[in-house]
Amino acid sequence: MRRRLIAAAVLVAAGIAGIVPALADVAQPRVVSTNPADWTPHALDGTVRAVAVVGTTTVVGGTFTSIADAAERNRYGQHYLFAFDSRTGALRTAFAPRLDGAVYALAAGPDNTVYVGGAFRTVNGTAQRGLAKLSLTNGARVAGFTARINWGDVRTLAVRGNRLYAGGTFSAVNGINRVALARIDGRNGVLDTAFDARLTAQNVARPRVEDLALSPDGHRLVVIGAISHVAGHPRAQIVMFNVAGPKASLYGWYTDAYRPQCDPTFDTYLRGVDFAPDGKYFVVVSTGTNSSPSLLCDTAARFETLDAGRRSPTWVNHTGGNTLFSVAVTGTAVYVGGHQQWLNNPHGKKSAGPGAVVRPGIGAINPKTGKALPWNPTRARGVGVRALVATPQGLYVGSDTDVLANEYHGRIGFFPL
């Protein structure tokens, strides 16, 4: 029986008229190969934190300062951002923007552009803190896009039509108060002044948005991070907004699953979220150190989208005490990445408990059962996988290590279908 979706009465924000229909998230017909492509270039230091595909160009962002082509014949001093041909891996050397700080988030823009979020203060010598829109032809700033944050960083971006959503640690955009979450006109960087989620966080210095995801139809926005209330309504680390029309409202959907504390040192232990291609569910991944099977620390958890009221996860997969940072849902698999050693491990305590399966640094979960799939390419664990991006051709993996499936891949790799 089809369930009705009930929105809370509280009005959170008003939006921009004329939403452009959204493109569906990527659905893949099968699990990707365990053999990564040989043509991807390399980041030679730091961490790859973000990947975006714009047409036939793949853009990579992070904390690195040098890169090399796939054969390592040519090396370049390139800080924080580079691009390559998605079909061949050839570096797009004409794309060489100059940023003075790390890139944490990327999103495909219109007309061969890319939106960039991070901890930078200048772009190509011009002051533009935390947010930018760049031409992929030559790395130039799109001068008409003037969005900027006051301090902190932008950690996550999502775009639908002309609406650009940004989350992070900032407290103002374009000089206007916006705590950790904002909606911006993607054409010119003007803040949507009517959209104010009014995020607050108890017992922490300030709210923080760690990640966000838009449903494939563009109607729902899920936000995770150091959050305790939204417009005065309690929401424990995760909130769902209705952003379908000219006004945005708080959905009646909520969960208390993340209300218990994992570790007092974490202001939030949620790290990544992604919608399924059909929009009917999403998956959240977390850190936490506390490996109790009754808690959602160091787990991947599926939640149904169309239910209202207080919700519990449909399934939970425990690592047994190791962090998951990133997640990509393709319909046939839920890919997760971090520095985990195992999946299917609710009784492990930094050890393999009964039923645990080895999945070092990367793995895949059956979206229906919540159990690990056989896919197990392995990787050097390091701090962990910070970017998982599914495309119609396969899966990009960005991290801080250079061994993927027992092959050398400098911090960026691609598993083809």
- Distance, CA of 394 to CA of 405 (rounded, Å): 15
What are the residues facing 158 on neighbouring strands?
165
- Would you say residue 53 has pLDDT above 60? yes
**How many Cβ atoms sit within 10 Å of the Cβ of residue 294?**
9
Structure tokens of 74?
């040519």
How far is Cα of residue 19 from the mean position of the Cα atoms in its chain?
23
DSSP string over 269-313: -EEEEEE-TTSSEEEEEE--S---TTS-TTEEEEEESS--SB---
Check: CB of residue 85 under 8 Å from CB of residue 92.
Answer: yes
Tokens 């650009």 map to which residue? 164
For 105-153, write each residue's pLDDT tens digit. 999 999 999 999 999 999 999 999 999 999 999 999 999 999 999 999 9
Share of the chain above pLDDT 90, in %: 88
Going along the chain from its start, the domains and CATH numbers come out as: 15-40+144-416 (2.130.10)
Average pLDDT over residues 295-322: 96
> In terms of residues, how long is the chain?
417
- On the CB side of 324, CA atoms within 13 Å amount to 34
pLDDT band at residue 45 using 50, 70 and 90 as cut-offs: very high
